[in-house]
Amino acid sequence: MVMKELYPDYLKVGDTIGIVAPSRKISFEELEFSVVFFEKKGFKIKLGKNIFAAENQFAGSDSVRAADFQAMLDDDEVKAVLAARGGYGAVRIIDRVDFSRFRKNPKWLCGYSDFTVFHSQSAYYNIPTIHSTMPVNISDTAVEVANAESLLDALTGKLLCYETKPNSLNRCGSAKAKVVGGNLSILYSLMGSQSEISTEGKILFIEDLDEYLYHIDRMMMNLKRAGKLANLAGLIVGDLSDMHDNTVPFGKTAEEIVADCCAEYGFPICFNFPAGHAAVKKSLRLGMEIEMRPTANGGFEVFQK
């Protein structure tokens, strides 16, 4: 079923940003800098009622985390919802959340990693989201401040334009289409559910962290066998960070695994996109049109109006 396209409004100074913890637990000390940062930029901050709850590794029980997320979705004052951090837990609450009001009056949902669960569910409703840094990552370092500025650029409707470094595995070509995706492991885990993404005619973005190389191969083969790669308009590969190998080497890097799984197709492939779990985390509006085109030095220019 194709649902009506409905975009959230871009933010303006004075608007309220909500912060919740749908996955791993977090402390006030880990959030304090980001709260001050956004307030200095002229935005109001509203924290989830139970944001500092804790139950083992989670930010409270499933019911508590779902209730906090639901409250932010339904709060008309809140114009964007930021995941405080990633970890694990979003998939445990996604089916407890009622998206009916959100679908009529959408707002920006922002985060990465485990938050890919919400990116994918929103894609099912044809509502854009923002793949971005999260409050736990924001500090006074120049790189992390720049990441936060990139998030604000995405939230306020500014042009997003990035140039990637050259990579011998890049496949030249241009593409202009909606971009979908997020964390590869999460996309893989959502296959067969309502939150499974549609990639037909779209540009797919993937990134991942802390995986064995054969896991990357397994997940890419799953996407391939499920028809998620054959009809792509393009592929953007972010950070594939801190990969592991077995005693008997797999024989390929994570990037080579991705390239090999896509070898039979003709769409352009851009590696080295500055997003994922590494230091630089540039923002993308998922579910909206993006353009990728090769540069003279073997990289790509990726931009989004």
**Strands of the sheet with 108-111, listed across from one edge:** 44-47, 16-20, 78-83, 108-111, 129-131, 284-286
Contact 6, 126 (CB under 8 A): yes
For the question of residue 215 being annotated catalytic, the response is no
Sign of CA dihedral 154, 158, 164, 169: positive
Phi-psi region of 247 (alpha: psi -120 to 50; beta: other; left: phi over 0): alpha
- Residue 181's SS3 state is strand
Cα angle vertex 25, ends 21, 27, to 5°?
95
- The catalytically annotated residue of 23, 255, 277, 283 is 277
Q: Which of 132, 144, 150, 207 is catalytic?
A: 207
Is 5 noted as a catalytic residue in this protein? no
CA torsion sign for 144, 129, 269, 90 is positive
Cα maximum dimension of the chain: 56
C-alpha to C-alpha distance for 40 and 242, rounded to whole angstroms: 34
Pick from 159, 152, 150: nearest CA to 281: 150
3-state percent helix, strand, coil for the chain, nearest multiple of 5: 30, 25, 45
CB contact at 8 A, 292 and 302: yes
Catalytic choice (23, 113, 150, 185): 113
Catalytic site includes residue 122: no
Catalytic residue set: 113, 207, 277
